[in-house]
Copies of this chain bind each other. A is one copy, B any other.
């Protein structure tokens, strides 16, 4: 059963694209200019790796707090690249495997990429791939060393590779010399009130006059993930009548309920 995990990563045309789409269950909402710039820079790197002979390997790290949309951004860049082979390396697909099996899967992913002309590899949630925990701290040095080498290894003649990493622990990766192994580092921020308003308005689940009141309740900063979860919980209603009425525009979110839900969120 676990051994199956060592088998071929599924081809990008099929399941992998699905997986990428699943990183964006809500579609991509406009999260403001800072998120937009990440997409632009990402696509410039896609162009450069495609056209430059001198940089057959480019690597880019998207870092920012938990839930800030990093995986969704990486997925969007990859989907928009039009590259035939897109591969995702994540802890999710390697649950319960030994360190060396994980290294094997990662190394194989890069080897596969060396066989095709245009490739993107997403290293999603690198601290999770590294089995990092801040007590000790502990992590897999075997996997770290593998990443340190592979992120810098030039592909063979005629092959192009863009590596996109994501992490919510830039400091940790920095102290592992893993940040400087990337060519470019981009910061995915939490939303400020202006960004949140933009999202709330486009979701259209508040009565127009309630948007400001809702914002007043919230902290200065909030991740897109938390905001969307909060809206979903509040839209649900207290008595379980379901959120459909709200999303269908028939009802609006009750501010009282909104506050209650806000307090229950795990910080």
Contacts and interface: CB of A to CB of B under 8 A. Distances in A.
B91 A149 contact: yes
Give the one of A2, A148, A179, A238 with max B CB within 10 A: A148
Interface string A1-16: 1100000000000000
Given A141-B131, A149-B128, A154-B22, A266 B236 contact: no
B182 A266 contact: yes
A153 interface: yes
B104 A128 contact: no
Interface stretch (A41-49, A190-198, A212-220): A41-49
B91 A96 contact: no
A47 B266 contact: no
Contacts of A183: 229, 265-266
A175 to B, nearest CB: 6
Sorting the interface of chain A by its residue count into under 10, 10 to 19, 20 to 34 or 35 or more gives 35 or more
Interface stretch (A28-36, A72-80, A114-122, A132-140): A132-140
A179 B266 contact: yes
A51 B180 CA distance: 42
A153 to B, nearest CB: 5
Interface in A202-258: 228-229, 232-233, 236, 238, 240, 242-244
A267 B154 contact: no
Contacts of A142: 96, 131
Stoichiometry, copies per complex: 6
A92 B153 contact: yes
B133 A176 contact: yes
Contacts of A150: 95
Interface string A152-183: 01100000000000000000000111011111
A115 to B, nearest CB: 14
A175 B111 CA distance: 36
A95 B139 contact: no
A131 B145 contact: yes
B91 A145 contact: yes
A9 to B, nearest CB: 15
A96 B92 contact: no
A141 to B, nearest CB: 5
5 contacts: A91-B149, A95-B150, A96-B103, A134-B176, A184-B266
Given A51-B236, A128-B148, A179-B267, 12 more contacts: A48-B240, A55-B232, A91-B148, A92-B153, A96-B100, A96-B103, A98-B100, A134-B175, A135-B175, A180-B266, A181-B266, A183-B229
